[in-house]
Amino acid sequence: MSSVHALAGVGAEGATSVVGATGAFNATWLLLALPLAGAAVLLLGGRRTDRTGHLIGTLAAAASFVFGLVLFFTLHGRSSSGREVSSNLFTWLPVNGLKVNVGLLFDPLSSVFVLLITGVGTLIHIYSIGYMAHDPGRRRFFAYMNLFLASMLLLVLANDFLVTFVGWEMVGLSSYLLIKFWEYKPAAATAANKAFYVNRVGDVGFLIAIMLMFATVGTTSFTGVFNAVAQHAIGYGTLTAIALTLLLGAASKSGQFPLQTWLPDAMEGPTPISALIHAATMVTAGVYLIARSNPIFTGSQAARTVVLIVAAITILLGCVIGCAYDDIKKVLAYSTVSQIGYMFLAVGLGPAGYALGILHLLAHGFFKAGLFLGAGSVIHGMDDEQDARRFGGLWRFMPVTWVTFGLGYLAIIGFPGLSGFFTKDKIIEAAFDKGGTSGWILGCVALLGAGLTAFYMSRIFLLTFHGERRWSDSGPDAKHPHESPTVMTAPMIVLAFGSVFAGGLLVLGGSLQHWLTPSIGRSAEVGAHTINPAVLTVLTLVVAAGGFAGAYLRYQLRPVAAVAPADSEVSPVTVAARHDLFLNAFNEAVLMRPGQYLTRFLVWSEAVGIDGVVRGIAAGVGGLSGRMRRAQTGFVRTYALSMLTGSVLLVGALLLVKAS
Amino acid sequence: MSTVPWLTILLIVPTVGSLVVGLLPRARAELAKRLALTVAVAELVLAVLMAVSFHDSRPGFQFSQHYNWIKAFGISYSVGVDGIALALILLSVVLVPVVVLSSWHEADEADRNVPVFFALILSLETFMIGTFAATDVFLFYVFFEAMLIPVYFLIGSYGPTGEQAQRSYTAVKFLIYNLVGGLVMLAAVIGLYVVSAQNLRHGTFDFAQLRQLNITPGVQKLLFAGFFLAFAIKAPLWPFHTWLPDAGAQSPTGGAVLLVGVLDKVGTFGLIRYCIPLFPKATTWFAPLVLAMAVVGIFYGALLAIGQRDMKRLVAYTSLAHFGFIALGTFALTSQAGTGAVLYMINHGLSTGLLFIVVGFMVSRRESRDISAYGGMAKVTPVLAGVFLIAGLSSLSLPGLNSFPSEFLVLVGTFTRYRALAIVATAGIVLAAIYILYLYQRTMTGPLAEGIRAGVGDLSVREKVVVAPVVALIIALGIYPKPMIDMIRPAVTSTFADIGHSDPAPTSPAAAPQGVHK
């Protein structure tokens, strides 16, 4: 069942060695198999499992988490040179020179992901027992969540790029199924399709990267590819091409510019899904991919520069749009876009930042999941209302939600001592430390982002929990806000603890960075700081405090209208932000409309063109119908046009063949 | 060496079954159905037994038989299979029982002859297996042309009710198109015979001997063109495809499954079995043109599928895109792409077959092929919607399902030789997502469309039995395609190696890491 790959002397990263699985690691596959079995039982069991489905699903997730803990501590007990454990399951695609095996790699990097996925996953399963209690499709919901867990675990555990890609697509499927969970709502069905389409654009990139790997070094396995990189067997141009195509995939999955448009729409899915898939785990897969492919990105300065540019744009874009929305979930969604931008910024810095990206990813997993669950609790208590302008003063009615959401909020804006304070500060610091003009630009962007984050998060927090009540408990639109049941609040409390402590625990003493060293190499030594870290911390706090003050002045001390002011009454920036900076409109105008016209033209030309020629010949040769012939000759110009179109297509394709 | 004449048995069983079923009186419809199903299942069992005794690693044809037929012209009854032919025979024998059971009530309208309908399907099975098993070019040609007859009647007599004029138009169009292709091929077959007569001093149609011929490049090009045209119409490849959407829409469901799922594969099979090994020089010369046609087909088929209003036409156009991938993989002339192309033929038969079947289920509930007549079906028929989605995801090559390994192999195998082409073809996967999921969105999601009764039934037990084996294969071949790959790979590899095409080596392979053992 297992094979041993021992890599001798993988250059710059120090000697790393992958060892064969022994003992408990022989059963690493159980991590995926448990939730997969859960999904299978729930989907095939049909209505018979309606009553117990949520329990089976939650149990499968919890079992996987417990086993993940066992493996984690077993790994922890090993010396750091034996912490990359590979187990080979079966041969998947063997065609002569190409040999793809399905195998799992349990190493420090995948181990923290396993714990994040199954841990947060289990909490959200528990929460969903309450959240989906009255939904007739609850069993199906848990089945899809189990399917997601299995897929996500395959994504982070695979030891071959092509198998990673399988997990990558399976999480995309789970995401699609769950976004359109309420598919009788047209908006949900549309959002699910959009998510799939945009991710397919990224898939093209990922696939091209994999094909480049095979064509260049004859393998797609991690060890094979990284070994070749370490031996400098791949030229700089090819390495950069691989990195950039991987980045295309990563950007689509993680909602990074310019492929971020699907993520806010994905909020059409049930809120637990927004917490699990579209905040804590799946959307961070892009960060995982870059961190996992660290030898490739380390080897290409050019590619990392592109990562940094994408990250910087995304941070600001997410923040600016997040300031304009009133829908609590949309704000959190753009916040996710922007926070993943920070993670991309970190991993784009190369060896100095890989660990920081993972660090922020884990902390974000806790506080963003907690924020979403809190938002879900509010939405639940307010009869499915999501518009924060119709909330207000809710702290009195849902105290647990208020406190847990509040702690997540403080964590994300970087309140001293809480998770975000440690993890985001580190990224800002590393950005400045990059040095040069680019370092200053990136640092300032990150700093500005921190201020904007404090503003929009304070805004949504104050609008929801504080200030005037902008709802009524009588009349036709009466609301009766109430705290959620324990089955929902308990996971929120656990995540709140994580929001408070995770960052500090992971950062202090460099514990996570040290742990991750076998997977992503030692963090680059900190040289001279561009700005003294203490000064920078104070500066960051001041900027964040400014953001808070702005929100406090505007949304706490002044009355807030229950209906958003019309576009004509707000600034052009706000209008643009409300319309997602017109990026959706741009996509529609540049991609969708021309595509529609092309499709219509081809359908028309096919009917009267190619097929018309055939019918014309048939009519002409047979001399069957004068009427038909007359009708056909009227289309001579159309034939000509369609023949011309065909010829152009063919010549174009031929040129491609020649170019290859 | 096995002494059981497996292939002859496989040809006789459906032939006899077809005759017996066809001669039953019209009133014995129920008996005809049961008998047809029994024959189809028996054929499946026999074929599986044969496949078990097939040796993957042995090169050349297995289960071969050779009897002189018309000795004066060197025509023989010669049959035998390599891994490619065996895989396609397995596809055929899997789909026929599925089709029989899914067509249970297809011919139930008062004026239709039920026994003849099922007899036509069984006779089609004989001809399909015959084209894959023949190792005599003339025998192949006979089966190739014979297939047209049952299809012609299936469309003309058993197509959608109430569309009489459209049906006969389509049936004639199908026949003329394919007859033209067949005639050109006949000319090429005769030309081949003449060349063999000059070369060997005795004319022959035996494939093994024809392979050894040394044909001048000019003649190769002419003969290649003759065969290619017939196969390009049969498959069909862009721009010879315009009969396909009509035929797909106007066939009864079972007919459409066999037509697009298996029959069209005779075209793609012919490319790799006859065009490439018989005319190696012409293959190299024509390859750029075929590759270009393939890539155009991928995009043309996908865009037209997106623009369709008729569900069956939509599925037919998706097939045009898939045949583009198959042709791409075949003419990239690498073992990965070629193996992927043959695997693609199998997987496309399963996924498109299932799509046609599910669309048939929908049409039987709503009496319309118009996409706009549907909406919100998932709410009332969740199992139907789920199976539809699995078929669709298979069609768009979602990893984890059967089509992905084949599509990836085609792309990666093409990439090692034609990078730009492979990159462009890869972009086609975006369009695949659109044509499938947009169809799903319009038919299954949103509010329930008017005209769909709230009480419309979900899949019946019979319908579940029909789809279950196909769904199981779609999942199993996605997770573990190795048995099929092992069956196909040696034949593909030797086909390309025999004409001097070996796989491009990695451009800069790393030195093997020390201490790797497997």
> For the segment B364-423, what is each residue's pLDDT rounded down to a tens digit?
888 888 888 888 888 889 999 999 999 999 999 999 999 999 999 999 999 999 999 999
Quick one: pLDDT at residue A630? 43
Q: How many domains does the structure of chain A reveal?
A: 2
In tens, the pLDDT along B131-169 reads 999 999 999 999 999 998 899 888 888 888 777 788 888
- Burial (Cβ within 10 Å: 0-12, 13-18, ≥19) of residue A599: buried
Quick one: pLDDT at residue A31? 94
Q: Which residues of A touch B239 (CB under 8 A)?
A: 610, 646
Task: Specify whether the CB–CB gap between A555 and A326 falls below 8 A.
Answer: no
Q: Has residue A251 been placed in a domain?
A: no
A658 pLDDT more than 70: no
Q: Has residue A32 been placed in a domain?
A: no
Quick one: pLDDT at residue A16? 53
Q: Which residues of A touch B379 (CB under 8 A)?
A: 184
Quick one: pLDDT at residue A641? 60
Q: Has residue A386 been placed in a domain?
A: yes
End of a domain among A578, A601, A630? A578
Q: Which of A62-76, A440-454, A643-657 has the lowest mean pLDDT?
A: A643-657
CA distance B9 to chain A (A): 32
A494 pLDDT more than 60: yes
B484 pLDDT more than 70: yes
Q: Has residue B191 been placed in a domain?
A: no
Quick one: pLDDT at residue B375? 85
Q: Which residues of B touch A239 (CB under 8 A)?
A: none
DSSP H helical ranges for B201-242? 207-211, 217-234
Taking residues B446-472, what's their average pLDDT?
A: 87
Name residues whose C-beta falls within 8 Å of residue A646's C-beta, 6 or more positions apart in sequence: A610, B239, B296
In tens, the pLDDT along A360-410 reads 999 999 999 999 999 999 998 888 888 888 888 888 889 999 999 999 999
DSSP H helical ranges for A556-635? 572-578, 583-587, 593-605, 611-622, 626-633
Q: How many domains does the structure of chain B reveal?
A: 1
Q: Has residue B72 been placed in a domain?
A: no
Q: Has residue B288 been placed in a domain?
A: yes
pLDDT band at A294 (very low <50, low <70, confident <90, very high): very high
Q: Has residue B37 been placed in a domain?
A: no
If asked whether residues A629 and A561 sit together in one domain, one would say no
Q: Has residue A23 been placed in a domain?
A: no
Higher pLDDT, A524 or B515: A524
Quick one: pLDDT at residue A15? 40
If asked whether residues A568 and A521 sit together in one domain, one would say yes
Q: Which of A189, A208, A231 sits opposite B511 (nearest CB)?
A: A231
End of a domain among A558, A578, A598? A578
If asked whether residues A318 and A360 sit together in one domain, one would say yes
Q: Has residue B210 been placed in a domain?
A: no
Determine the 3-state secondary structure of A235 from DSSP.
coil
Q: Which of A96, A180, A211 sits opposite B411 (nearest CB)?
A: A211
Contact B400 A170 (CB under 8 A): yes
CA distance B517 to chain A (A): 7
The answer, for A221 touching chain B at a CB cutoff of 8 Å, is no
Containing structural domain, residue A387:
300-578
Listed by number, the residues of chain A in 580-599 with a beta carbon closer than 8 Å to a beta carbon of chain B are 595, 598-599
In tens, the pLDDT along A421-468 reads 888 988 999 998 888 888 899 999 999 999 999 999 999 999 888 888
Residue A183 exposure: Cα atoms within 13 Å on the Cβ side: 28
Edge-to-edge, what's the strand order for the sheet holding A19-20? A19-20, A85-95, A98-106
Give CA B249 to chain center in angstroms.
17
In tens, the pLDDT along B196-250 reads 988 888 888 999 999 988 899 999 999 999 999 999 999 899 888 888 888 888 8
Q: Which residues of B touch A228 (CB under 8 A)?
A: 508-510
DSSP class of A483 = P
Return phi, psi of residue A231, to 5°: -85, 5
End of a domain among A544, A578, A612? A578
If asked whether residues A546 and A640 sit together in one domain, one would say no
Quick one: pLDDT at residue A394? 82
Tell which of A92, A93, A220, A244 to mutate to test the B interface (max B CBs under 10 Å). A93
Q: Which of A332-341, A566-575, B120-129 has the lowest mean pLDDT?
A: A566-575
If asked whether residues A565 and A599 sit together in one domain, one would say no
Quick one: pLDDT at residue A639? 53
Residues of chain B with pLDDT > 90: what percent?
65
In tens, the pLDDT along A105-121 reads 999 999 999 999 999 99
Q: Which of A79-83, B52-56, B287-291 has the lowest mean pLDDT?
A: A79-83
The rounded distance, in Å, linking the Cα atoms of B241 and B305 is 13
Q: Has residue A512 been placed in a domain?
A: yes
Q: Has residue B347 been placed in a domain?
A: yes
Average pLDDT over chain B, rounded to an integer = 90
pLDDT band at A626 (very low <50, low <70, confident <90, very high): very low
If asked whether residues A374 and A465 sit together in one domain, one would say yes
If asked whether residues A308 and A403 sit together in one domain, one would say yes
CA distance B419 to chain A (A): 5
Q: Is the dihedral of CA B244, B249, B251, B255 positive or negative?
A: positive
Q: Has residue B343 been placed in a domain?
A: yes
B342 pLDDT more than 80: yes
The answer, for A184 touching chain B at a CB cutoff of 8 Å, is yes
Containing structural domain, residue B295:
279-501
The rounded distance, in Å, linking the Cα atoms of A269 and A266 is 6
Q: Which of A151-165, A204-218, A272-286, A552-566 has the lowest mean pLDDT?
A: A552-566
Contact B445 A183 (CB under 8 A): yes
Name the range with the highest mean pLDDT among A526-530, A536-540, B168-172, B455-459: A536-540
Q: Has residue B338 been placed in a domain?
A: yes
Quick one: pLDDT at residue A623? 46
- Choose among B407, B500, B411, B491: nearest CA to B132: B491
The answer, for A231 touching chain B at a CB cutoff of 8 Å, is yes
Q: Which of B339, B419, B504 sits opposite A95 (nearest CB)?
A: B339
Q: Has residue A489 been placed in a domain?
A: yes
Quick one: pLDDT at residue A113? 95
Contact B430 A197 (CB under 8 A): yes
> CA of A87: which chain B residue's CA is closest?
B518
What's the N-to-C CA distance of chain B in angstroms? 33
The answer, for A563 touching chain B at a CB cutoff of 8 Å, is no
Quick one: pLDDT at residue A5? 38
If asked whether residues A544 and A518 sit together in one domain, one would say yes
Quick one: pLDDT at residue A12? 38
pLDDT band at B502 (very low <50, low <70, confident <90, very high): confident
B59 pLDDT more than 80: no
Contact A94 B486 (CB under 8 A): yes
Higher pLDDT, B235 or B513: B235
What's the N-to-C CA distance of chain A in angstroms? 40
A629 pLDDT more than 60: no
